[in-house]
Chain A
Amino acid sequence: GAGVSQSPRYKVAKRGQDVALRCDPISGHVSLFWYQQALGQGPEFLTYFQNEAQLDKSGLPSDRFFAERPEGSVSTLKIQRTQQEDSAVYLCASTRYGTGYEYEQYFGPGTRLTVT
């Protein structure tokens, strides 16, 4: 079946521009996670949704970062007034349930954001 998809795969933004990154989780998956992966580093947790509820946004680095999942399926990560330090790969992952018992997160291919 279809996996997690993300779009665009690559995004170049000029410093100060706003960007929106989209994640389509596996159909029916309750939980959705966003991660930020800097070059040469492991992914870092940004935020977590259970259906449409954002239950954890402790990893969002600043108030320029905003995520939403209004209908409990597709999610958008928005970055306002992009800075060079925002350059990274943004990964989305989903899991079937929201109970915490599932052990496998399914990751998308990521969106590589370059801020010039």
Chain B
Amino acid sequence: DAKTTQPNSMESNEEEPVHLPCNHSTISGTDYIHWYRQLPSQGPEYVIHGLTSNVNNRMASLAIAEDRKSSTLILHRATLRDAAVYYCILRVRMEYGNKLVFGAGTILRVKS
């Protein structure tokens, strides 16, 4: 399965931007890059996704390298509620649809 590599943990100050990196050097041409986050005692929730171009939504921005071997999730102003495990995931195309392949994720701590 296609794999991603992320730092184990990162720390940020409240109200400051956070850049969460992800390496996916074995990505194939049809694999989408997804980010999910998981708050304590909850299931993962979708954050953002992209294929080649940078993407923005109300939660975050996704910057994808030109060679697609890495990407960065950007939280523009971290809040205490953003403290979670962030997963960079490759959505692998299967015959029946799509499959999410999770890595270990990055634990984001936000300091007030």
Contact = CB atoms under 8 A, between A and B. Distances in A.
Interface of A: 4, 31, 33, 35, 40-45, 48, 50, 55-56, 91, 93, 98-100, 102-110
A43 B102 contact: yes
26 contacts: A31-B97, A33-B100, A35-B102, A42-B85, A42-B102, A42-B104, A42-B105, A44-B102, A48-B99, A50-B97, A91-B44, A93-B43, A93-B44, A98-B96, A100-B94, A100-B96, A100-B98, A102-B98, A103-B32, A103-B34, A103-B91, A105-B46, A105-B100, A108-B43, A109-B41, A109-B42
Interface string B79-112: 0000001010001011111111111110000000
Interface size class of B (residues with CB under 8 A): 20 to 34
B97 A99 contact: yes
B49 interface: yes
Contacts of A105: 44, 46, 100
Contacts, number: 64
B96 A91 contact: no
Nearest to B92: A45
Contacts of A109: 41-43
B11 interface: no
A100 B97 contact: yes
A33 to B, nearest CB: 8
A108 to B, nearest CB: 5
Contacts of A48: 96-97, 99
B101 A45 contact: yes
